[in-house]
Amino acid sequence: MQQEKHFINSIYYQLEQTAKYCKYLGNQLFEKLNFEIPLDEFVVLDTILVHGEICQRDLAKLILKDRPSTGRLLNSLEEKGLIERFADTKNNRLVRKTKLTAKGQCVTEQITNVLKEYFARFPVLSGEKVLDLKTRIQEFKDGLEKEVEMKI
Amino acid sequence: MQQEKHFINSIYYQLEQTAKYCKYLGNQLFEKLNFEIPLDEFVVLDTILVHGEICQRDLAKLILKDRPSTGRLLNSLEEKGLIERFADTKNNRLVRKTKLTAKGQCVTEQITNVLKEYFARFPVLSGEKVLDLKTRIQEFKDGLEKEVEMKI
DNA sequence: ATTAATGTGTTGCATTTGCAACAATATTAT
DNA sequence: ATAATATTGTTGCAAATGCAACACATTAAT
C-alpha cells in the first residue's frame, strides 16, 4: 500500500486529527476541573484580552467562527457578567465592541494559571521540540491563510 | 502583553486554528470541483482503502467520530453504491464490516488524483519542510493519544 | 446457573454549527 | 440624487454533531 498516495496520510488530515485530540483533551479538562465556562467561551475571553477592545466581526475572524456563533458566545458571556458591550465606531461605522469586566479578568487569569500548571506537567514533547513545532505550524498556517477564503 | 501566558498562543490552540483552515480549504475544494461526495465521506472511503475490511467501531476510532455518526456516513455511502456491508465476526462477535465496491474504488482513486494534482501546485511549504512538519506532528499526536480518553 | 460486565450497532434527542436572509447604516458609482 | 455596493449585527432554519439509552450477543464472575 503506497501510503503517500492517500489523503488520510497527508499533512492536512493529520493536522485535523491532532487538533481533534487537542479539542477533546481541552473539553475534558474543563469539565473535570469544573470551570464555570466552557473552553469556547474561555477562548473568547483570552482573545479579547490579547487583542483589546474589538468589534464582533473582528472577533469572529480571530476565533474562526461565523458572526452568529460569535454573537451568541458574547451573549452568554454577557449574561454571566464576564464581559461588557458598548457602542463605538470603526471606520465611521457603528459597532459593538467588547471588554472584560473585573470578574471576567479574574476568571480568565484563574483558568489561565490552572491550565499553565496542568500543561507544564504534560509529558507530550520537550519544551524545545514544542517551540520548534509551533514555529513550523505558524509558518504553515500563514501559508494557508492566504489561500483560504473565510467568508466571515 | 506577555504572549506566552495566553492559551490562544499555545500549540494546542494554534493547531486547532490551522486545522480549521485545512478543513475549510478542503470543503471549498470539494464543492468547487463538484465531487459527488463530501470530504467527510471521502475520508471514510480512503480510510477503508488503507485499513482494509474493518467493523464500524474500529472505523469510528480511526476517523475520530462517534459510532452513530460513523453509521450514518456508511448508510449514505451504501445508498450511493460506493461501499458494501457484510456480516463477519471479530473475536467471536458478530460485526458489520465494510468494503469498497468497484464504483467506490473508482471514485476514490479519481478524487485522490485530482487532490494530488491540486496540492502539488500548492505554494504553502517546500516538500522538505512539509515532511519535517509531518513527522513532528505525528510525534505530538502520538503523545496526545496516550493522554486522551476517546470514549468511542 | 444466574448475574454482571463488555462489545457492537442503532434510535432518538438536545446541542452546536453554519449559512442564507434581513435590517440598518455608510460609502461609492452613475 | 438615486441606485448600487459594502459593513455590521441579528434572526431563523437546516444540517451536523455528540451523547445517553437501548437491543442484542458474548464473555466473565459468583
Is B118 a residue whose pLDDT tops 70? yes
Q: Residue A62 has what pLDDT?
A: 96
CA of A93 to C1' of C29 (A): 20
Contact indicator for B126, B101 with CB cutoff of 8 Å: no
Contact indicator for A36, A48 with CB cutoff of 8 Å: no
- Residue A58: which H helix or E strand, with range? helix A56-63
| Domains of chain B by residue range | 16-123
Residue where the block lists cell 458489520: B96
pLDDT tens-place values along chain A, 152 residues long? 556 789 999 999 999 999 999 999 999 899 889 899 999 999 999 999 999 999 999 999 999 999 999 999 999 999 999 999 999 999 889 999 999 999 999 999 999 999 988 888 776 767 788 888 999 999 999 988 888 888 88
* Residue at B127: amino acid letter: G
Q: Residue B4 has what pLDDT?
A: 75
pLDDT tens digits, B38-88? 999 999 999 999 999 999 999 999 999 999 999 999 999 999 999 999 999
Q: Residue A3 has what pLDDT?
A: 67
Give the residue whose CA sits closest to C16 at C1': A69
The verdict on a CB contact (< 8 Å) between B124 and A133 is no
Is A148 an interface residue toward B (CB < 8 Å)? Answer: yes
CA of B62 to C1' of C5 (A): 25
In chain B, residues 34-93 whose CB comes closer than 8 Å to chain A: 42-43, 46-47, 49-50, 64
Q: Return the CATH number of the domain spanning residue range B16-123.
A: 1.10.10.10
Gap between the Cα atoms of A19 and B135, Å rounded: 15
Query: What's the pTM?
Result: 0.93
Q: How far is CA B27 from CA A57, B20, B83, in A?
A: 22, 11, 22
Phi, psi of A105 (to 5 degrees): -65, -40
Q: Residue A4 has what pLDDT?
A: 75
Q: Residue A1 has what pLDDT?
A: 55
pLDDT tens digits, A40-75? 999 999 999 999 999 999 999 999 999 999 999 999
Gap between the Cα atoms of B15 and B137, Å rounded: 10
Classify B27 as helix, strand or coil: helix
DSSP structural state of residue A3 = G
Beta B54-55 vs A83-90: how paired, if at all?
Answer: unpaired
Per CB-CB distance under 8 Å, the chain A contacts of B13 are 22, 43
Q: Residue B3 has what pLDDT?
A: 67
* Half-sphere exposure at residue A135, Cβ-oriented, CA atoms within 13 angstroms: 6
Q: Residue B62 has what pLDDT?
A: 96
Is B5 a residue whose pLDDT tops 90? no
Of B8, B18, B123, the CB nearest to A50: B8
B contact test, residue of A2, A4, A6, A9 with most B CBs within 10 A: A6
List the one residue out of A58, A54, A57, A121 whose CA is nearest residue A83.
Answer: A54
Per CB-CB distance under 8 Å, the chain B contacts of A18 are 15, 19, 137, 140-141, 144
CA of A71 to C1' of D12 (A): 15
B/e letters for A38-57, b = 16+ CB within 10 Å, e = fewer, are ebbbbbbbbbbbbeeebbbb
Strand D footprint nucleotides (protein C-beta < 7 Å): 7-12, 16-21, 25-27
List the one residue out of A81, A43, A90 whose CA is nearest residue A64.
Answer: A43
The verdict on a CB contact (< 8 Å) between B19 and A15 is yes
In chain A, residues 88-147 whose CB comes closer than 8 Å to chain B: 112, 115-116, 119, 122-125, 129-130, 132-134, 136-141, 143-145, 147
